[in-house]
A = this chain, B = another copy of it.
Amino acid sequence: MNDTRKPETEKPEPLPRLGEIGLSNYAPYLMNRIMGRYNADLRQEMTELGLTTPKMRALAVLSVIDALPISELAVYAVVEQSTLSRALDQLASDNMVRRDADPNDSRVTRIGITDAGRATLDRLWPTMARSYAQMFKGIPEEERQAFVTTLQKVLKNIRKHDF
């Protein structure tokens, strides 16, 4: 088989440009667009609840994994550490979270979510769930599951931490 007639899929050039790939075939672009809309959809409800994106993300992560050190929470929540530090100031003054000293390492502050924090997130959750449902409307469950599986692989490929 001497196939010289179909070079399209055989890495024909050293580095195809974005213009050649096209925005709508470039996964990072699509993910950015999607997350931009998702975050915009939550914005109004968040504002009414006195939340910003960093505050919301901190609460969301803590609702799943409580008592995290700030530095780990920053990774999970995808927020700069200094930004998170200040977001936690606000959350703490609103009694949404607690700052607890780590008993083994006194450099570490572990963040705990309070009942009030959970209650606030519960009020936001229907909006998040609605936006999530809208994303996958008309997409078969099997396809959604495969999509999530690929997302997990991609995250594993590029993340810097083990979580």
Contact = CB atoms under 8 A, between A and B. Distances in A.
A17 B27 CA distance: 28
Contact of A30 (B25, B63, B121, B152): B152
A83 interface: no
Contacts of A125: 15, 17-18
Number of copies: 2
B63 A19 contact: yes
A137 B121 CA distance: 36
Contacts of A101: none
Contact of A134 (B147, B151, B157): B157
Nearest to A147: B150
B152 A136 contact: no
Contacts of A153: 138-139
A1 interface: no
A45 to B, nearest CB: 15
6 contacts: A15-B126, A23-B64, A28-B128, A30-B151, A30-B152, A139-B150
Interface of A: 15, 17-19, 22-38, 41, 57, 60-61, 63-65, 76, 78, 121-122, 125-126, 128-129, 131-132, 134-139, 143-144, 146-148, 150-155, 157-160
